[in-house]
């Protein structure tokens, strides 16, 4: 029997604009450099294509060449696996401002968990690039065109992700894809770079069918732009346009409650009320359900004692408690709710992250905490 195959997301990276008024995470530029960035496939297939993004660029972006290879260590690649990528049959391309670019397919097998390195030669001055705050691992930039170099000797390192939006694989059409959607608890801020230990990654290793792609964005909010477009505005591009999506796992809200205490004018002086936030979550669920997706929400994480001045407030904590009580009740619109807040809470002080899970700032979890979050989600929900 022949299995029908189709293009399905195997890696995703949510991106920010470099020119936002609020820049908790600044972007950077590249000029006549080879930029090599690692990525790990959540799932495999019989072919692969790469997505590049100039979505928030203000000028066309010139790609002087692109290669893909198996990563070894640091900036190293296995030269025997090096593959030049093409775009509509050519080795070079220009991505218009506000647009994305998909490579031609590479027709060979790729496997789940495979770690690759994408090398881009950026011959001009890119200006501040479309980027993501949390990269899979440290990237490297070296002068000139060194796309097939085994190691980028003398390269500078950077910890943000640039221009890479995702990878698709040609896989069975009935593969189930979960989009993990939300903030830094989804993106994996404060987990070990390169260890693949974010909450979605550790949850994905528990699935016996399909896989999870990560569309978390540190600093993101449900209702307010500023650190990326707000979550409701991201639905079309970051969820509905993801090929193969069947389920959505959502964690959002801590920045809605905490950032107004940290960021000055023109941000709102106060966070949303519980009623406003609940209305936003209801809109989120309704839009995703209308698209035929199964939606699992997470309770808003614990963050009392967060070390960022102004983030932790009595009003924010009261709103968080009210929202979580609603999520854990019978009136929410989601298909299920995972009590991830309780999974990492200090039993003696439930509004705080327990010490062994605290990444050190009181707001984010470490690798062990991310595993506790993953273990709190019932994997049978992804079989619905």
* HSE-CB of 291 using CA atoms within 13 angstroms: 20
Q: Which residues contact 299 (CB under 8 A, 6 or more apart)?
A: 324, 327, 328, 337, 338, 339, 340, 341, 342
In angstroms, the CA 380 to CA 384 distance is 7
Query: What DSSP designation does 55 have?
Result: T
How far does CA 39 lie from the centroid of its chain?
Answer: 12
Best CA proximity match to 255, nearest among 224, 215, 296: 224
Looking at residue 1, its pLDDT comes to 46
Q: Residues, the chain, total? A: 384
Beta carbons of 248 and 199 less than 8 angstroms apart: no
Residue 371's φ and ψ, nearest 5 degrees, are -65, -40
Looking at residue 186, its pLDDT comes to 98
Looking at residue 263, its pLDDT comes to 80
How far does CA 242 lie from the centroid of its chain?
Answer: 13
Q: ω before 129 within 30° of 0 (cis)?
A: no
Range 176-383 has CATH code 3.40.50.720: no
Predicted confidence pLDDT, tens digits, the chain (384 residues): 457 999 999 999 999 999 998 888 899 999 999 999 999 999 999 999 999 999 999 999 999 999 999 999 999 999 999 999 999 999 999 999 999 999 999 999 999 999 999 999 999 999 999 999 999 999 999 999 999 999 999 999 999 999 999 999 999 999 999 999 999 999 999 999 999 999 999 999 999 999 999 999 999 999 999 899 999 999 999 999 999 999 999 999 999 999 999 886 456 668 999 999 999 999 999 999 999 999 999 999 999 999 999 999 999 999 999 999 999 999 999 999 999 999 999 999 999 999 999 999 999 999 999 999 999 999 999 987
Looking at residue 120, its pLDDT comes to 98
Looking at residue 361, its pLDDT comes to 98
Beta carbons of 203 and 212 less than 8 angstroms apart: yes
Beta carbons of 326 and 151 less than 8 angstroms apart: no
Residue 211 tokens read as 């896989």
Looking at residue 21, its pLDDT comes to 85
Residue 216 tokens read as 């978390």
* HSE-CB of 310 using CA atoms within 13 angstroms: 11
Residue 135's φ and ψ, nearest 5 degrees, are -85, 160
User: Is 76 exposed, middle or buried (CB count within 10 Å of its CB: 0-12, 13-18, 19+)?
Assistant: middle
């Amino acid at each position: 029997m022949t299995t029908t195959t189709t293009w399905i997301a195997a890696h995703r990276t949510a991106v920010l604009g470099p020119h936002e008024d609020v820049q908790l995470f600044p972007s950077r530029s590249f000029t006549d450099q080879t930029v090599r960035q690692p990525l790990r496939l959540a799932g495999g297939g019989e072919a692969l294509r790469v997505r590049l993004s100039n979505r928030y660029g203000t000028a066309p972006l010139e790609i002087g060449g692109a290669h893909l290879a198996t990563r070894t260590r640091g900036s190293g690649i296995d030269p025997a696996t090096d593959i030049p990528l093409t775009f509509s049959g050519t080795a070079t391309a220009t991505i218009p401002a506000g647009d994305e670019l998909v490579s031609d397919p590479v027709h060979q097998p790729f496997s789940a968990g495979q770690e690759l390195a994408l090398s881009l030669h950026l011959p001009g001055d890119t200006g501040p690039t479309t980027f993501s705050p949390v990269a899979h691992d440290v990237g490297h930039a070296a002068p000139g065109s060194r796309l097939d170099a085994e190691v980028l000797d003398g390269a500078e390192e950077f910890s943000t992700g640039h221009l890479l939006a995702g990878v698709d694989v040609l896989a069975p059409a009935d593969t189930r894809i979960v989009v993990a959607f939300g903030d830094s608890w989804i993106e994996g801020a404060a987990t070990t770079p390169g260890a693949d230990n974010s909450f979605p990654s550790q949850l994905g290793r528990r699935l016996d069918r399909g896989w999870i792609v990560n569309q978390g964005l540190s600093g993101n909010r449900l209702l307010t732009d500023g650190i990326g477009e707000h979550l409701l505005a991201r639905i079309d591009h970051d969820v509905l346009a993801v090929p193969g999506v069947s389920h959505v796992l959502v964690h959002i809200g801590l920045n809605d409650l905490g950032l107004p205490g940290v960021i000055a004018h023109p941000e709102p002086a106060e966070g949303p009320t519980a009623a406003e936030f609940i209305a936003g979550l209801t809109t989120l669920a309704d839009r995703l359900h209308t698209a035929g997706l199964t939606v699992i929400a997470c309770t808003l994480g614990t963050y009392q004692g967060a070390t960022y001045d102004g983030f932790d407030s009595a009003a924010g904590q009261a709103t968080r408690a009210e929202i979580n009580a609603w999520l854990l009740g019978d009136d929410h619109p989601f298909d299920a709710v995972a009590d991830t807040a309780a999974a990492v809470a200090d039993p003696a002080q439930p509004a705080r992250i327990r010490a062994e899970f605290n990444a050190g700032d009181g707001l984010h979890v470490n690798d062990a905490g991310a595993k506790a979050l993953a273990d709190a989600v019932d994997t049978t929900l992804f079989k619905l």
